Amino acid sequence: MKTVALSLFLFIQISVLANDAKYKEQMAKQIQIVYQAETIEELQPAVNALDRIASAEKTKWEPYYYSAFGSLMMATHSTEAAKKDGYLDAAMAAIENAKKINANESELIALEGFVYMIRVTVDPATRGQQYSSLAFQTYNKALNMNPENPRALSLLAQMQLGTARFFGASTEEACGTAKKALEKFDTFKSENPLAPVWGKGMTQGLLKNCK
């Protein structure tokens, strides 16, 4: 009996370990792709794979996060308004699923703001007002959850820069936020090995607009 129990216990343990290793390996592979892919054709299979991981790993928010990030990237690569919205809907759905698992993750909220920001670009004249104000708010919400989140800061800086440019106003505020974001990129360390790390290059790009 003892051996049976022991072997059963070990079997479960090993399966869990094996699964965890599989999870990390799979995640690492797909995260790599969503970070580097430059076409919808490359992104779609990675997003699909992340969705599959999400469906198997019911307690992890990260697969949904990267699936949403991948969908968002597809939206930015797409040229058709209808398709962009479709990808953004998919991103939003994944974010909502992730929020059900971890409601207090600043990274998820920052990504949600990013979705709103891209919604604006689909039809700025009509959506500017509603979605840019939503984006601002959501970034601030993400920063309230974690003031150290460099991505939330960088995205906020982008919004501030866009607004300042549109009105021909001073970019001082935007540049300040972007600088702060860049500092946080160097100091911010998450204990989660799968935590997002993107955005530094984008911030450096933003800072080129600042003297």
Partner 1 sequence: MKILAALILVSSCAFAQTKVSGVVKDTQGEAVIGANVMIKDSYDGTSSDAEGKFSFKTDEKGEQILVATFVGYKAYSQAIALEGKDVVVNIVLEEEANVLDGVTISAGSFTAGEEKRRTVLKPLDIAMTAGATADIAGALNTLPGTQKVGESGRLFVRGGDGNETRTFIDGMVVLDAYGAAAPNTPSRGRFMPFMFKGTSFSTGGYSAEYGQAISSALVLNSKDKAESNQTDIGILSVGADVAHTQVWKRSSLSGKIQYTDIRPYFGLIDQRIDWITPPQALEGSAAYRTQVGKEGMLKLYGNFNRSSMQLYNHDILDPAKKQSYDLTNTYHYGNASYLQPLNENWNIRGGFSYTYNENAILLDGKPIGERESGTHTKVVSEYAANENLEWRMGGEVIQRNYEAYQLNTTTQESQKVFFHEVISSGFTEAQVLLHTKFITKAGGRFEHNSLTNAVSVDPRLSVAYKPGKKGQFAFAYGMFRQSPKNQYVRLNPALQSEKAEHFILNYQVITDRKAFRVEVYYKQYNNLVKFVNGNANNLNNAGNGYARGVELFWRDSETIKNVDYWLSYSYLDTERDYINYPAAAVPTFASKHNFSAVYKHFISALKTQVGATYSYSSGRPYTNPNNTQFNSDRTPDYHDLSVNFAYLPKPNLIIYFSCTNLLNNDNIFGYQYSDTPANDGLYKSRAIQQPANQFVFLGVFITLSKNKSVNQLPNL
Q: What residue ranges bind partner 1 (CB under 8 A)?
A: 6-7, 10-11, 14-15, 18, 22, 26, 40-41, 44-45, 47-49, 51-53, 55-56, 58, 71, 80-83, 85-87, 89-90, 123, 125-127, 129-130, 132-134, 136-137, 163, 166-169
Q: How far is the CB of 50 from partner 1 (least distance, A)?
A: 10
Q: How far is the CB of 200 from partner 1 (least distance, A)?
A: 26
Distance CA 145, CA 103 (A): 10
- Using the minimum distance from each CB to partner 1, give the nearer residue, 30 or 185: 30
Integer CA distances (angstroms), 55 to 62, 104, 172, in order = 12, 21, 44
- Using the minimum distance from each CB to partner 1, give the nearer residue, 52 or 200: 52
* Eight-class DSSP state of 130: H
Sign of CA pseudo-dihedral 182, 106, 112, 173 = negative
Residue of 62, 143, 197 lying closest to 159 (CA atoms): 143
Q: How far is the CB of 82 from partner 1 (least distance, A)?
A: 4
- Using the minimum distance from each CB to partner 1, give the nearer residue, 86 or 200: 86
Q: How far is the CB of 132 from partner 1 (least distance, A)?
A: 6
Distance CA 51, CA 68 (A): 9
- Using the minimum distance from each CB to partner 1, give the nearer residue, 23 or 188: 23
- Using the minimum distance from each CB to partner 1, give the nearer residue, 167 or 211: 167
Sign of CA pseudo-dihedral 63, 69, 73, 74 = positive
Q: How far is the CB of 167 from partner 1 (least distance, A)?
A: 5
* Other beta carbons within 10 Å of 57: 19
User: CB under 8 Å to 112, separation ≥6 — which residues?
Assistant: 92, 95, 138, 142
- Using the minimum distance from each CB to partner 1, give the nearer residue, 163 or 204: 163
Q: How far is the CB of 1 from partner 1 (least distance, A)?
A: 15
Residue 199, sorted as left (phi over 0), alpha (psi -120 to 50) or beta, turns out to be left
Distance CA 109, CA 25 (A): 26
